[in-house]
Structures are given as structure tokens and as C-alpha cells.
Amino acid sequence: MRVVPAVARHRRTLVTTVIAGLSLSLLIRAQPSPFDVVIQGGRVVDGTGNPWFIADVGIKGDTIVAVAPRLDAAGARVIDASRQVVAPGFIDVHSHAEARESGEDMIGNPAALNNVYQGVTTVIASPDGGGSVHVGEYLNRVAAAKPAINVGSFIGHGAVRDAVIGQANRPATPDELEAMRRLVRTGMRDGAFGLSTGLFYVPGNFAPLDEVVALAQVAGAMGGIHQSHMRDETSRILDSVRDTIAIGERGGLPTQVTHHKIIGKANWGRSVDTLRLIDEARARGVDATIDQYPYTASSTSIQGGLVPQWAQEGGREALLVRLGEEGSRRKVLADVTASLATDRGGGDPRNVVLASCSWDASLAGKSLADVLRERQRPVTLDQAADLVLEIVQKGGCAAIYHAISEDDLVRIMKHPATMIASDAAPGIPRIGSGVPHPRAYGTFARVLGVYVREKRVLTLEDAVRKMSGYPAQRMGMADRGLIRVGMKADVVVFDAASIRDTATFDRPHQYAAGVAHVLVNGEAAFSAGVPTSARAGRVLRATEVRRPIVGR
């Protein structure tokens, strides 16, 4: 029998061990990483309102798969988030991302950089009763445009009424009401998140409350919510809030006062009463909530904002006929003068600033007072009202109205039932694009920079909740809005010490600053402060995203 010396045996064992170790190491390296992306060491503000905590966030594909104090990032793309905030992507529940002639929508402008720079990863289009009645067709067109962010939609009551009745100022017949119900039902089946109403605008303003309730019942029975631009945000605001609550209470669905504000000096302070109405409704079981943008100016068209609704019956041609008749023109002038004095005009022609006029680009950025002075006319409310009608007759303009109190804004923002929304379209900085409201570029960053860091109106955690987890819950999005295992990887990384809005009323086309990274469905839409070419956004249909998450 051959005896192997001890030294030889030891060498053979050592070699075998080394080979085995190398083989195991190679095997481990050959195995795929459990993560595609690891966001390391950030302050996680998870969207619930809970205090922040330090953690790594692991992402595989389009999903958050791990949140832990430390993750093995071998083989993954690493994002260093130390000294930064890691939060769910922000969700804008009142976005004018629906199709527009200007191309400032998610079809003409799918990159949506004004949203991405702020960390907005999801928008819900067709508020204020507008948009297309063909929700499925609209969402298919958005999907074909390959958006950088996620897009959902409401079905608009005003669009539905216009499709069935037109611009007539009368109640619907039973057959017309049934036709409108069918359109709402189809829109909900096609994925709408609920029914939006614009009862301030024509033709929604012509609808009696019972009609709106009947359509809200259809949306509610199919899991939708109601979101309303109320009939009046000035002297009759309390009645308007009561109507919005009644739509939810009688319609059997959640109801939301959208872009809540108090317009006109004589009405300032009434947010005390509007919020009391919301609290009383919630106390008796009505799911009533609010959204808001953080500015003391509103924006809508000159015609929509200042011309009385009765004069707009029948559409633009009918309005022009009325303005050409001396008697009816005097009545319209009286109403416009009153609106300038006590409502959106804030009592001074300087408060109404033209944002864009397709027929004269030189007017953008000028107030009614500026235009009157240029034309050597007296700067009075009567002259301003006459100028408004001239503008309408020439084709109309978008305008900004400085008539909101900061005290009301702060009071509404602090309310626990308030979330943040922009009321803006995807902005496109370009020559000739006018001087629009800066909310398109600054809403979410402004809340974090001004109302969290500077004024300390909100905590960081509550502000993020109002932009992510809360709106996701409101829309019924089961898989977005939180930094949590199983959620879709819509994530924003930002510097809480420097995030800010840079857009102003004078220079609105300025992107927000302070966001470092934005992931949409796990792909980088914004990396190291620079937008990418990724188009990972998806169309979100309520019929799909409201399904419960199973097996996570």
C-alpha cells in the first residue's frame, strides 16, 4: 500500500480548497444581481407622513423589491443618495395634460420636462369637466406618444354635456340624461379615475345639481371619485362648497374641491368657513377632500374668467352676436365691471395680466392697466371692462388674476384633507409661448422650498404625503405613491436644503432646481440633475391600477 506523505496530502487539500473557492466565487458572480438599481443611504420619506429614516432602496425592473438599512449593491447601478431625500414620485391629480391645440399636452410634449424637473412622475388629466369624452382613445394616443411620466384621466362632465346637449342653457331631457350616463359609463370602463366637473365654465355651469348627481352616481358605482372646479370661488363660495359636498353625499362617491382658493378681497378669510364645511361633511361620513396649488394668483381665459356664463350660451358665435347688440353688450359690460371690482379683478386692472394672446403675442405679460395706458385710455374699471370685451371679440387671451390671500392659501394648505396639484399643462419653454402661470414649472418644488424649508408651514414628511401617498390613495392607485416593497419604482431623489422653484410671474419658463434623480417605473427619467431620453411612463387606467396587489 502506497503511503502519501503528510506534506503532500496538505498541499493537495489546499489546492482543492482554493479551486473550490474560486469556483464558488465565479458561480456567485455569474448569478444575476437581485437589484437593477440600489439607491443608497438616503433619508427615506416614504409618503405615509411617518418620520424619515435612513435606508437603501432596491429596485428590480419596474418594482421596489427591498427597503433595508443596507443592501448588497453588487452588480446593480448605484445612486448615492447620502444627505438627500428619497421619496415617492409626486402625483399631480389636477393636470391639464389632455390634448390641446397648442401642443402643451402629453401627446404634443411627452417629455414633460417641467414635471420631471420637479419630481412629478404621474399626472391625471381632463379636470374641470374638460378633455375628451373618448377616454380610451385619448389614453391610447398618449401611450403611442411614449410619455416620460405616467398619465391617467378623468371623464369630464362639461365634455359629456357638450357632446349631448351642446352649449344650451337648459336642463337635460330624460333621454339626454341617459345618453350622458352612457358616456360616463363608457369613460369609466375605459379607465377614467372618476368624473370631473367644471361648474364655473360653460356648458357645465348650465347643469342643475340633480344632473351632476345623476352622473356622479354612475362614476361612483364604478369606483370613481368626483373632482370639481366649483361654480363660484368668490362671493358664493360657501354655496359652491356645499354643492360639491352634496354631489359626493348624494352621488355616493368621494368628492374633491379642486384648486381650492378664495378669490376677491371681500371674500378673504372665508377659508375658515369652507374648511369647516369640509370638516363637518367628513364628520358625518362624506369623503370630502381638497387639492391646491401654492400661489396667490389664478389663471384661466379672459372669456371664462370674466365674461358672465349667460352671455356665453350657444358658443362663441352667439357671444359675438350679443356683444354686437347695444343692449346686451351693456349688460355684459356691467357684469364684467363687477367681476373686475370684486372678484378675479381684485379691484384693480393691474391685477389681471395677459398670459398669451394668439392674435397678438406682444400683449403677453401686460396687465389690463398696461394696455390701457399704452392706448392712452383712463385706467378705470369701466375702461378695463370695455378692453376685456375687445379682447374677446378679437379672439381672446389666457390671463392671470392676482386676487388670492396668502393667509387663506396657508390655512388651506395646512388642512389635513388637502393635497397638492398644479392645475397646469406640460410647459414648453420657447419663443412666443407667452407668459403663463408659473405653477406649471414650480408647484411641487415651491411647496418644498417655500412652505416647508422657509416658512415651515408643513413638515417635510407631510408635504411629501400631500404629493404622493395621499393623492395615490385618493385615486385608488394600489401600487404607487409609497416607498414600500411591491410598489412601482416611481422615485424622486432631491436635496431638501436646495430644492426650489425658479419660475416667476415675470419669467415663468424656468425649470425647478434641487432634484437629482427621478425614476419612472424603474428607469431614469432624470439622472444627476440632467433629463434623460427615457420614456418609461405608462398610461394608467383606473380599471387596472385599482386592483389589489397579490403575492408581493
Per-residue pLDDT at 101 = 63
Q: Please, which pLDDT band fits residue 100 given cuts at 50, 70 and 90?
A: confident
Q: Is the pLDDT of residue 14 over 70?
A: no
Instruction: Count how many Cα atoms sit within 13 Å of the Cα of residue 201 in the half-sphere of its side chain.
Output: 20
Considering only residues 29 and 93, tell me which one the structure prediction assigns the higher pLDDT.
93
* φ, ψ dihedrals at 409, nearest 5°: -55, -50
Can you tell me the distance from the alpha carbon of 226 to that of 245, in angstroms, rounded to the nearest whole number? 10
Can you tell me the distance from the alpha carbon of 430 to that of 425, in angstroms, rounded to the nearest whole number? 15
For 18-46, what is the mean pLDDT?
72
| Least confident piece of the model among 246-260, 339-353, 417-431 | 417-431
CA end-to-end span of the chain: 61
Q: What is the mean pLDDT of the chain?
A: 93
Per-residue pLDDT at 24 = 44
For 110-122, what is the mean pLDDT?
97
| Least confident piece of the model among 373-377, 530-534, 548-552 | 548-552
Q: Residue 198 forms beta bridges with which residues?
A: 229
Place of cell 377659508: 271
For 438-458, what is the mean pLDDT?
98
Per-residue pLDDT at 270 = 98
Place of cell 357632446: 163
For 333-351, what is the mean pLDDT?
96
Q: Tell me if 386 sits within 8 A of 256, measured CB to CB.
A: no
For 255-282, what is the mean pLDDT?
98
Label residue 83 exposed, middle or buried (CB < 10 Å: 0-12, 13-18, 19+): exposed
For 162-169, what is the mean pLDDT?
97
Per-residue pLDDT at 104 = 78
Q: Tell me if 329 sits within 8 A of 389, measured CB to CB.
A: yes
Per-residue pLDDT at 255 = 98
Q: What is the pTM of this model?
A: 0.93
Q: Tell me if 206 sits within 8 A of 313, measured CB to CB.
A: yes
CA 438 from centroid of its chain's CA atoms = 14
Q: Please, which pLDDT band fits residue 427 given cuts at 50, 70 and 90?
A: confident
Can you tell me the distance from the alpha carbon of 179 to that of 214, in angstroms, rounded to the nearest whole number? 12
Q: Is the pLDDT of residue 551 over 90?
A: no
Q: Is the pLDDT of residue 282 over 70?
A: yes
Per-residue pLDDT at 99 = 72
Report which listed range, 90-104, 420-434, 447-461, is most confident: 447-461
Per-residue pLDDT at 17 = 46
Q: Please, which pLDDT band fits residue 438 given cuts at 50, 70 and 90?
A: very high
Helices (H), 50-173: 113-116, 135-144, 157-164
Distances (CA, A) of 419 to 67, 454, 503: 26, 19, 21
Q: Tell me if 128 sits within 8 A of 158, measured CB to CB.
A: yes
For 348-365, what is the mean pLDDT?
96
What sign for the dihedral angle of Cα 443, 444, 445, 448? positive
Q: Is the pLDDT of residue 256 over 60?
A: yes
Q: Please, which pLDDT band fits residue 4 given cuts at 50, 70 and 90?
A: very low
Q: Is the pLDDT of residue 18 over 50?
A: no
Q: Please, which pLDDT band fits residue 122 given cuts at 50, 70 and 90?
A: very high
Domains of the chain, start order: 87-296+404-497+512-545 (3.20.20.140), 301-401 (no CATH)
Per-residue pLDDT at 477 = 96
Per-residue pLDDT at 25 = 46
Q: Tell me if 127 sits within 8 A of 229, measured CB to CB.
A: yes
For 224-242, what is the mean pLDDT?
97
Give the whole-number percent of the chain exceeding pLDDT 90.
Answer: 89
* φ, ψ dihedrals at 499, nearest 5°: -60, 135
Q: Tell me if 307 sits within 8 A of 392, measured CB to CB.
A: yes
Per-residue pLDDT at 429 = 75
DSSP per residue over 325-371, as a string?
SHHHHHHHHHHHHHHHHHSTTTTSGGGEEEEE-TT-GGGTT-BHHHH
Q: Which candidate, 212, 397, 414, 183, places its Cα nearest to that of 305?
A: 397
Per-residue pLDDT at 33 = 86
Instruction: Specify the DSSP element, H or E, that contains 153.
Output: strand 150-153
Looking only at the bridges linking them, the beta strands covering 53-60 and 37-44 are: antiparallel
Per-residue pLDDT at 548 = 62
Per-residue pLDDT at 7 = 46
Per-residue pLDDT at 32 = 78
For 474-483, what is the mean pLDDT?
97
Q: Is the pLDDT of residue 28 over 50?
A: no
Per-residue pLDDT at 245 = 98
Give the whole-number percent of the chain exceeding pLDDT 70.
Answer: 92
